[in-house]
């Protein structure tokens, strides 16, 4: 009904030009302090807000970040984590006055991905991507238009990770923490139960690859054990497909093989949960007979009357740092240029240096160890 208030309306009320209003509200030094205060007061009084479209058109900033989520979002267990991560990201972005559009990476309609569409339509300033299987074409496109991107948790297969900003869990450290803990509580034999097969049939990446999560966990786990003088014969490795049932079956099928002093490191709480359920059925006591530690610190724990010891994914920190990073990249892009040109300080080093941060997870001791 009512027409929205514009800076022109505000200008008329204040008896100044609309450009002065614009500068006043944007904290330009070119407007007198008294004038600014007067205008800001009027803006507050009239509930003024900038028209986002006009602003984007003129300034070429939208204040919106495209958040690309993985195909696995349909998967029950992984979506638990992903959804919370998304919530955290959204909340963190809010601190920087940014909104988030959530999108699937898969293109639905006419051969064009959502990423491409958002870029061409000028709908976003940058991307937060937690999805490892995005084709390199998308990155090439993003680079071509010089949009900031922050990659979370999974680096893409076919794009060099040193060329992108990347935040993830330090999975190697996670494995190390699990090993340390199991050693500390007196375990004598150690099981590493991993999840090598991803749904999207990504090729397994090399040892140095920052994104091969399971491999890193195993490396940290066995590395720490070896460093503590545990013989390889006491380290047993299994790989399950990742479902609740495979973990349950794993325990039931191997029920005879377990003995007191065994410590089982599962690469997800879902597996640990399935194992724990099976232990009850099989009459194996936890933690008296064997000890179980999971990974993720998943909320499915509420479905158990006993708390599972686990490695907490540093979700909150990852979200905070990723949001801060993309904000800084935006600031650099839009405000930093002038500074660079104006100052030309000695710090003309590798300006486009990318940040790769692996956030250490946390051991959460509960009742299964």
Binding residues for a second copy, per CB under 8 A? 1-2, 4, 47-57, 62, 64, 73-74, 76-77, 79-80, 83-84, 87, 90-91, 94, 99-104, 108, 116-117, 120-123, 144-146, 243-245, 248, 270, 273-274, 277, 299-300, 302-303, 305
**Three-class secondary structure of residue 173 per DSSP:** helix
> In angstroms, what is the C-alpha Rg of the chain?
26
Q: Which does 146 bind (CB under 5 to 8 A by kind): a second copy, DNA, none?
A: a second copy
Token pair for 357: 């941060």
* Residue 102, C-beta contacts closer than 8 angstroms, at least 6 positions apart: 67, 69, 86
Angle between helices 315-331 and 76-95 (to 10 degrees): 40
* Closer CB to a second copy, 277 or 356, in the complex: 277
* Closer CB to a second copy, 131 or 172, in the complex: 131
Is residue 15 within the footprint of DNA (CB under 7 A)?
Answer: yes
Q: Which does 87 bind (CB under 5 to 8 A by kind): DNA, a second copy, none?
A: a second copy
How near is the Cβ of 304 to DNA at its closest, in Å? 52
CB atoms near residue 281 (< 10 Å)? 11
Q: Which does 273 bind (CB under 5 to 8 A by kind): a second copy, DNA, none?
A: a second copy
Q: Which does 31 bind (CB under 5 to 8 A by kind): a second copy, DNA, none?
A: DNA
How near is the Cβ of 29 to a second copy at its closest, in Å? 24
* Closer CB to DNA, 99 or 200, in the complex: 99
Q: Which does 144 bind (CB under 5 to 8 A by kind): DNA, a second copy, none?
A: a second copy
CB atoms near residue 316 (< 10 Å)? 15
Q: Are 267 and 194 a contacting pair, CB within 8 Å?
A: yes
How near is the Cβ of 87 to a second copy at its closest, in Å? 6
Longest dimension (CA), the chain: 87
Distance CA 237, CA 216 (A): 14
* Closer CB to a second copy, 9 or 180, in the complex: 9
How near is the Cβ of 223 to a second copy at its closest, in Å? 32
Q: Which helix (H) or strand (E) holds 39?
A: helix 33-45
Distance CA 266, CA 311 (A): 10
Distance CA 272, CA 293 (A): 7
CB atoms near residue 75 (< 10 Å)? 14
Binding mask 24-63 for DNA (x = CB under 7 A): -xx---xxxxxx--------------xx--xx-xxx----
Is residue 124 within the footprint of DNA (CB under 7 A)?
Answer: no
* Residue 352, C-beta contacts closer than 8 angstroms, at least 6 positions apart: none
Q: Which residues pair with 129 in a beta bridge?
A: 68, 151
How near is the Cβ of 40 to a second copy at its closest, in Å? 13
Of positions 4, 44, 144, 231, contacts DNA by CB under 7 A: 4
Distance CA 254, CA 244 (A): 16
* Closer CB to DNA, 32 or 204, in the complex: 32
Q: Are 121 and 324 a contacting pair, CB within 8 Å?
A: no
How near is the Cβ of 25 to DNA at its closest, in Å? 6
Residues that contact DNA, how many (by CB under 7 A): 28
Q: Where on the chain is the footprint of DNA (CB under 7 A)?
A: 3-4, 6-8, 15-20, 22-23, 25-26, 30-35, 50-51, 54-55, 57-59
């Amino acid at each position: 009904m009512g027409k929205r208030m514009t800076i022109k309306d505000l200008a008329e009320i204040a008896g100044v030009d609309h450009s002065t209003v614009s500068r006043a509200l944007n904290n330009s030094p070119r407007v007198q302090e008294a004038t600014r205060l007067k205008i800001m007061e009027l803006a507050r009084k009239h509930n003024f807000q900038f028209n986002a479209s006009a602003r984007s058109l003129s300034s070429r900033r939208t204040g919106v970040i495209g958040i690309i989520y993985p195909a696995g979002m349909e998967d029950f267990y992984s979506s638990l984590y992903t959804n919370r991560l998304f919530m955290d990201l959204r909340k963190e972005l809010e601190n920087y006055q940014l909104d988030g559009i959530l999108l699937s990476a898969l293109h639905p309609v006419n051969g064009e991905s959502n990423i491409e569409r958002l870029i061409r339509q000028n709908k976003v300033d940058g991307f937060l991507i937690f999805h490892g299987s995005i084709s390199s074409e998308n990155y090439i496109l993003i680079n071509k238009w010089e949009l900031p991107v922050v990659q979370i948790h999974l680096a893409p297969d076919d794009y060099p990770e040193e060329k992108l900003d990347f935040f993830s869990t330090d999975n190697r450290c996670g494995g190390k923490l699990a090993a340390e803990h199991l050693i500390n509580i007196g375990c004598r034999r150690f099981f590493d139960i991993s999840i090598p097969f991803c749904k999207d049939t990504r090729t397994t990446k090399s040892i140095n690859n920052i994104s091969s999560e399971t491999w890193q966990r195993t490396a940290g786990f066995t590395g720490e054990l070896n460093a503590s003088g545990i013989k390889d014969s006491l380290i047993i490795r299994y790989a399950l497909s990742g479902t609740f049932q495979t973990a349950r079956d794993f325990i039931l099928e191997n029920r005879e093989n377990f003995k007191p002093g065994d410590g089982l490191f599962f690469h997800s709480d879902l597996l640990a949960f399935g194992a724990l359920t099976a232990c009850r059925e099989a009459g194996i006591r936890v933690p008296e007979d064997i000890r179980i530690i999971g990974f993720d610190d998943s909320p499915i724990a509420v479905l158990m009357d006993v708390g599972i010891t686990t490695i907490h994914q540093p979700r909150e920190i990852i979200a905070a740092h990723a949001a801060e990073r993309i904000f800084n990249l935006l600031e650099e892009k839009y405000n930093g240029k002038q500074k660079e040109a104006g100052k030309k300080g000695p710090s003309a080093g590798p300006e486009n240096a990318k940040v790769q941060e692996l956030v250490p997870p946390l051991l959460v001791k509960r009742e299964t160890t």
